[in-house]
Amino acid sequence: MTADNSILGFWDNLPLVLFTYFAQVGLGVGLVGVFVRKDLESIRRQRWIYLVGFICLCIALFLTFFHFGEPSHALNVVYGLGTSWLTLETIMVSISLGFMLVTFIVHSAMWLKIVTAVLSFITIFVQGLTYAAPNFAPINNAFPFTFFLLSAIAMGSSLFYVRGSQVASLTGLISLLVTVPCVWSSGSEVMLATSYMWAGSVYYWSGLTLLSAALFLNAIKKNILLIDLLLIFIGLFLVRITFFASTPIVSTLIEHPVN
């Protein structure tokens, strides 16, 4: 796959793009919700945001049926527990989904929010390991996990209107997305080729532009508005397409053992 046909790569990997994207919207709710202020009006709004997180995780779990080779046999994923990061990822999303629902129902329990936040973090960690393909230097490192974690925090912060963590996560994301391809360009032939594919992706540049615009708007105003949320969510979706369409080894979804 080359940079010129990354649009085709998007369609080839659409289930994975949507699965990780919706999962991290929900997991971002779980991560950020535990740190949000507790006044009465905010508590009422927070409860419904947990419902949004639950719905997003439901969508993500449904999409797991489409990113296996044979959707009708997707339930066989449980047999891979202990041998596949992909299996563990699916199970962790399912557990997080359950706790997200309970947190929505019993919203006043702080300990429940903490457990949901911890599970959300662990699930993102597992996702980072799932797509850190072995023997492929560009992403066989902390990049997938860091990218997923900052994405989840940025989207969760946008839903909860938490400006501080939104600005911090956006700054980290933009720095990561600019720095990593530059590092690739100074590495091996494989890393250099991956860097060229990202640099030639319209999704990468469009997403980076939208995220930068969201950060700029945060710098010139105090409140988080709908336009910020749209810029961040659309920008992260476009960069997520880049991750799967312009990093060829990810699309093969080579499963490797859980150690």
Q: What is the CA radius of gyration of the chain?
A: 18
Among residues of the chain, what percentage have pLDDT more than 70?
80
Closest CA to 175 of 205, 142, 208, 126: 208
Question: What is the reported pLDDT for 149?
Answer: 96
| Helices of type H across the chain | 6-12, 14-33, 40-63, 85-105, 110-130, 143-160, 163-185, 189-199, 202-220, 226-245, 248-252
Pick the more confident residue, 112 or 253. Answer: 112
Helix axes 85-105, 110-130, angle to 10 degrees: 160
Closest CA to 121 of 30, 230, 17, 52: 30
pLDDT one-digit tens code per residue, 2-29: 444 455 555 567 888 899 999 999 999 9
Question: What is the reported pLDDT for 76?
Answer: 56
pLDDT one-digit tens code per residue, 41-66: 566 778 889 999 999 999 998 887 76
Pick the more confident residue, 71 or 255. Answer: 71
- pTM of this structure: 0.86
Handedness of CA 136, 142, 143, 149 (dihedral sign): positive
Q: Residue 206 in contact with residue 6, Cβ under 8 Å?
A: no
**Domains identified in the chain and CATH numbers:** 3-252 (1.20.1630.10)
pLDDT one-digit tens code per residue, 138-154: 888 899 999 999 999 99
pLDDT one-digit tens code per residue, 72-107: 555 555 555 555 667 788 889 999 999 999 999 887
* CA–centroid distance for 146 within its chain: 9
Name the DSSP letter for residue 247.
Answer: -
At residue 226, what is the residue type? L
Compute how many other C-beta atoms are within 10 angstroms of the C-beta atom of residue 47: 16
Which distant-in-sequence residues (6+ apart) come within 8 Å of 41 by Cβ? none
Split at pLDDT 50, 70, 90, the class of 67 is low
Return phi, psi of residue 169, to 5°.
-70, -35
